[in-house]
């Protein structure tokens, strides 16, 4: 942690938590065993970001495509979501973490919706890290629902980037500067498609249940070694500094 430049932290880190099923397979267990053992990784990532002073952490917890998984696995995931939110409230409160969510929450089971809303209300006054759970979320869904809202309001204003961003589920949240994906897969899987236009991507072979604070720190240090140009040349960046 002492090697990290606190003046060059990403304000917003997004994570695709991948590899739970493969981790379980290496243990000779069912996939849900991997999901259950991933909670420690979620806790470590959340605490690590809170300790460093990262402002936003978005975790891709359940995509719209995940409904296509075996029915028993989906049911187990939903049950795990409910129990985890209850069990992790102390961690959230101890670390001054505010809980938010993005995605079509209305499609989740009623008990999951109720527990999520209760947790969000309980943490609403926390002023540290904002932890955002992407649940029943996809980037294409987000862009589509933004456009639908614009059309439904019959706005007379010009359709531009700022207007679309105003209606995205992440409105008011800065775009992620860093995306971490575990398990060695190198794709963004329909996650924050609009928001990641200039996000730095970091891929690691570590399976998500094994992810710890040191892996988070490795990703942040790699981010800090990169030059973010946003279409400009290196010379222009140097001159601006």
Are 142 and 168 within 8 A, CB to CB? Answer: yes
Give the separation between CA 53 and CA 200, rounded to whole angstroms.
19
- Three-state DSSP state, 56: strand
Note the residue count of the chain: 241
Distance, CA of 60 to CA of 137 (rounded, Å):
8
Annotated active-site residue 66? The verdict is yes
Cα–Cα dist 33/38, whole Å: 9
Which one of 66, 126, 190, 217 is the catalytic residue? 66
Q: Which of 5, 7, 8, 18 is catalytic?
A: 18
Q: Which residue has the tokens 């990532």?
A: 45
In the block, residue with structure tokens 């359940």: 62
Q: Would you call 160 exposed, middle or buried from its count of C-beta atoms within 10 A (0-12, 13-18, 19+)?
A: exposed
Angle between helices 39-52 and 71-87 (to 10 degrees): 40
Within a 13 Å sphere around the CA of 78, how many CA atoms are in the beta-carbon half?
Answer: 19
The answer to whether 176 and 13 have CB atoms below 8 angstroms apart is: yes
Instruction: Check if 217 is active-site.
Output: no
Q: What is the largest CA-CA distance in the chain?
A: 59
Question: Catalytic residue numbers?
Answer: 18, 66
């Amino acid at each position: 942690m002492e090697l990290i430049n606190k003046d060059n932290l990403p304000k917003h880190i997004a994570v695709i938590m991948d590899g739970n099923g493969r981790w379980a397979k290496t243990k000779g267990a069912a996939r849900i065993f991997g999901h259950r053992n991933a909670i420690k990784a979620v806790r470590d990532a959340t605490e690590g970001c809170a300790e460093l002073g990262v402002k936003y952490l978005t975790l891709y917890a359940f995509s719209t495509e995940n409904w296509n998984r075996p029915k028993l696995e989906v049911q187990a995931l939903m049950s795990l979501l409910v129990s985890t939110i209850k069990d992790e409230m102390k961690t959230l409160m101890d670390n001054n973490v505010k809980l938010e969510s993005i995605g079509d929450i209305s499609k989740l089971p009623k008990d999951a919706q109720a527990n999520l809303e209760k947790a969000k209300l309980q943490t609403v006054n926390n002023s540290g890290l904002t932890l955002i759970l992407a649940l029943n979320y996809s980037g294409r869904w987000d862009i589509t629902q933004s456009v639908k809202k614009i059309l439904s309001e019959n706005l007379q204003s010009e359709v531009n980037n700022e207007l679309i961003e105003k209606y995205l589920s992440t409105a008011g949240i800065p775009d992620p500067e860093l995306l971490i994906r575990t398990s060695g897969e190198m794709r963004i899987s329909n996650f924050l498609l609009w928001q990641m236009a200039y996000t730095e991507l970091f891929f690691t072979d570590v399976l998500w249940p094994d992810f710890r604070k040191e892996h988070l720190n490795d990703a942040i240090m790699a981010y800090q070694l990169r030059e973010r140009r946003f279409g400009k040349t290196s010379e222009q960046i140097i001159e601006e500094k």
